[in-house]
Amino acid sequence: MARGQTGTAGRRKANGAAEPAGKPNAPDKKELLKYYRDMLLIRRFEERAGQLYGMGLIGGFCHLYIGQEAIAVGVQSVKTPGDQVITGYRDHGHMLACGMDPREVMAELTGRSGGSSKGKGGSMHMFSTEADFYGGHGIVGAQVALGTGLALANHYRCNGKVAFTYFGDGAANQGQVYESFNMAEIWRLPVVYVIENNQYAMGTSIERSSSETHLYKRGVSFNIPGEEVDGMDVMAVKAAAQKAADHARAGKGPYILEMKTYRYRGHSMSDPAKYRTREEVDNVRKTRDPIDHVEELLEELGYADAAAMKAVDAEVKRVVADAAEFARTSPEPDPSELYTDVYSEARA
Amino acid sequence: MTDVLMPALSPTMEEGTLAKWHVKVGDTVKSGDVIAEIETDKATMEVEAVDEGTVEAILVPEGSEEVKVNTPIARLSGEGEAASKAPAAAPEPEPAPMEDPQPASRAEAKGDPVRAPSEAAAAGPAVALRDPDLPEGVKLVKVTVRDALRDAMAEEMRRDPDVFLMGEEVAQYQGAYKVSRDLLQEFGDKRVIDTPITEYGFAGLGVGSAMAGLKPIVEFMTFNFAMQAIDAIINSAAKTLYMSGGQIKPSIVFRGPNGAAARVGAQHSQDYAGWYGHVPGLKVIAPYDSADAKGLLKAAIRDPNPVVFLEHEMLYGLEFDVPEDIDWVVPIGKAKVRREGSGVTLVAYSRMVGFCLKAAEELAAEGIEAEVIDLRTIRPMDWQTVVESVKKTNRLVTVEEGWGPMGVGAEICAKVVEHAFDYLDAPPARVHQEDVPLPYAANLEVLSMPSVDKIVKAAKAVSYK
């Protein structure tokens, strides 16, 4: 396994405020196969979304999650029913990880009536109360205050639920993030901040945008513990997320996880990606790919051989092909939908 | 067999130059491999393979210009084929859907704009809406606007455990303007929450908690400070019901003093009615007296939508009648005729209603009977009541503290012109804050603000007197 220090043992370091996450136990077969399937679903889904975009079936902005799959899947594995998930605009992976139907996600991308928001939200604005997924937000960093508000509701209701609030290295420089950190810690709100540090805020590298590039330290002046996690290793993500969720659920307040990751594609589909070299991207793909890593584990542990993995891939491709077909053939929303959902008549 | 199509690399791209091929016939490719470079007028982009396979043919040679999006540019065969031929075939390049990826309904949508049912609906219920009848024997008591607001919150918090108040100095300090006096004592610090000075942050937290089903009242010490939170109010609160296809219903009240107090300068003196009134998804209320302050705030707290509730510091200490001991709820979206008259229609909201009532008295002394309409709700606006009045008076003056351009008065004038054009005997007049940041100097401040005198002059002007 050519992964060196960033293997399944997980995080490379933790700051002083946090207890080390400890070595996760070897995953069981069923669990690891599920992660493999879920990550592969996200990858194939996103590849297909990219293709549909190229064909003009998806409009506007489209931000792909390829390369970051281990994070959404690893964090999801520790979520209990009722825990909320909220993220920014690179949200397709989270929705699939939350269990939303690939058909409704893809059909929202194509702006069709079968989409999760009836085609009125688009790539960046999808929600599912059923899957505890609260969006899907297009304003960089806005989801951090909203996610902290979800945690405020949990705290208010004493319901033991945790709000998993994702944001990127770009959003980490927004002011409202720190306003939220402050209140989360003052009130000990059950929120886990998952920073997906994919190294580039659109085209600006973390080194160019951030005076402190170790984002897990961003909670230090609020007394929020944080740690760095290998976001390309689903088992490391899971272990860290479990620890952070336990902390929040126990009434100890927020926790920050900085997931070191990488996006293979551009910021959005229309990003020529001239701010980094092809070699840099290829190097990550070759040496740190989160799905290759699970494949290696599956083989190492004797859980699956190449043929078995290929079967999983074939099944996932069928699901994605079906979603794409649905998204292509689902009708556009009826014109009468233009004026619905502006105001609600009755309280939820 | 899979065709590789000329991809669109931006929302607006229609064609591009196929600058370079990185593969040749016979090469095998897998998903993610760069196979070509494409130039548009904006950028050079790499094209990655989506499917696996062997390059069977290059259909468009490198250097080709003006290659239309979705033109087949290469053909793959081989390994990927089995997978791509799976049931429910993927959108592989069957020519028909490629050439016309947009369903036909686009054309229909263009030709026949859908009529806004919100307008139609407003026409219906707005006329039907009316203030509740006072049961026999109900006593009217004098209450300040400040206490009426306080009582509204207290009553709703007793009624619904999901209602809570958050903001700066709302709890221990008892409210910067004492509107939340005694609430902490009655409801405790879980439901009356002092926040740090962090408007964007706590407005966002409030919206998040509303997405989870709570019913927050977010107090801004003044609406001037809500400028820092306007993203949360508009992008996160007002638009989410729509963007979620009706799934997420943030029910939340943003309230606090709005408009100009006295001698506090430009940054602390601004009327936001027009700003928030512009936004679909928001309801916007700006009451004048104590009964409306109480009845409309109770309605706002019960409303399932985000509501911006604009109070006025200069009204907080004024006393007006409020019905005692009943659940007094005033419908949102209904204007109130405060004084009847047949000579000219004066339309205002919030503090300017008082100015108009004074102006009406002066006008009466000069033989002009003014009808004074208190809008009470800015959005949805009860323009029908205004139109009905203008049909009677044939003259219109709008009065607001905000700036004129793109303001509430401008909207009223537009509605009257649309719906009562033939009834107008004079061009409508607008009284509003002068088109400058509010000055500090006492004399300039007076010159800048609407006044009873300016309203009287405007009313006379449209009456040609």
ipTM at complex level: 0.90
B187, B190, B195, B205, best to mutate vs chain A, most A CBs in 10 Å: B205
Predicted local distance difference test score (pLDDT) of residue B318: 98
> For A59-99, how does the pLDDT look when each residue is reduced to its tens digit (9 = 90+)?
998 999 999 999 999 999 999 999 999 999 999 999 999 99
Residue B274 has pLDDT above 70, yes or no: yes
What is the mean predicted confidence (pLDDT) over B128-153?
93
Residue B87 has pLDDT above 60, yes or no: no
Q: Do A121 and B244 touch (CB under 8 A)?
A: yes
Region A26-328: CATH code: 3.40.50.970
> For A91-149, how does the pLDDT look when each residue is reduced to its tens digit (9 = 90+)?
999 999 999 999 999 999 999 999 999 999 999 999 999 999 999 999 999 999 999 99
> For B116-132, how does the pLDDT look when each residue is reduced to its tens digit (9 = 90+)?
554 444 433 445 788 98
Tell me which residue in B9, B200, B212 faces A150 most closely, judged by beta carbons. Answer: B212
Minimal C-alpha gap between B243 and chain A (Å): 4
Minimal C-alpha gap between A321 and chain B (Å): 4
pTM (2 d.p.): 0.88
| Mean per-residue pLDDT of chain B | 89
Which span out of A300-314, B88-102, B103-117 was modeled with the highest average pLDDT? A300-314
What is the mean predicted confidence (pLDDT) over B151-173?
98
B432 catalytically annotated: no
Q: Do B91 and A318 touch (CB under 8 A)?
A: no
- Please report, for chain A, the start and end positions of each structural domain, with discontinuous segments joined by +: 26-328
> For A190-244, how does the pLDDT look when each residue is reduced to its tens digit (9 = 90+)?
999 999 999 999 999 999 999 999 999 999 999 999 999 999 999 999 999 999 9
Q: Do B87 and A322 touch (CB under 8 A)?
A: yes
B199 catalytically annotated: yes
> For A252-264, how does the pLDDT look when each residue is reduced to its tens digit (9 = 90+)?
999 999 999 999 9
Q: Which residue has the tokens 């594995």?
A: A77
Predicted local distance difference test score (pLDDT) of residue A9: 39
Predicted local distance difference test score (pLDDT) of residue B79: 56
What SS3 string covers chain B? Answer: CEEEECCCCCCCCCEEEEEEECCCCCCEECCCCEEEEEECCCCEEEEECCCCEEEEEECCCCCEEEEECCCEEEEEECCHHHHHCCCCCCCCCCHHHHHCCCCCHHHHHHHCCCCCHHHHHHHHHHHHCCCCCCCCCCCEEEEEHHHHHHHHHHHHHHHCCCEEEEECCCCCCCCCCCCCCCHHHHHCCCCEEECCCCHHHHHHHHHHHHHCCCEEEEECCCCCHHHHHHHHHHHHHHCHHHHCCCCCCCCEEEEEECECCCCCCHHHCECCHHHHHCCCCCEEECCCCHHHHHHHHHHHHHCCCEEEEEECHHHCCCEEEEECCCCCCCCCCCCEEEECCCCEEEEECCHHHHHHHHHHHHHHHCCCCEEEEECCEEECCCHHHHHHHHHHHCCEEEEEEEECCCCHHHHHHHHHHHHHHHHCCCCCEEEEECCCCCCCCHHHHHHHCCCHHHHHHHHHHHCCC
User: Of B52, B199, B388, B411, which is the active-site residue?
Assistant: B199
Tell me which residue in B82, B97, B213 faces A328 most closely, judged by beta carbons. Answer: B97
Residue A337 has pLDDT above 80, yes or no: yes
Chain A touched by B104 (CB under 8 Å): no
Chain A touched by B112 (CB under 8 Å): yes
Tell me which residue in B102, B198, B281 faces A342 most closely, judged by beta carbons. Answer: B281
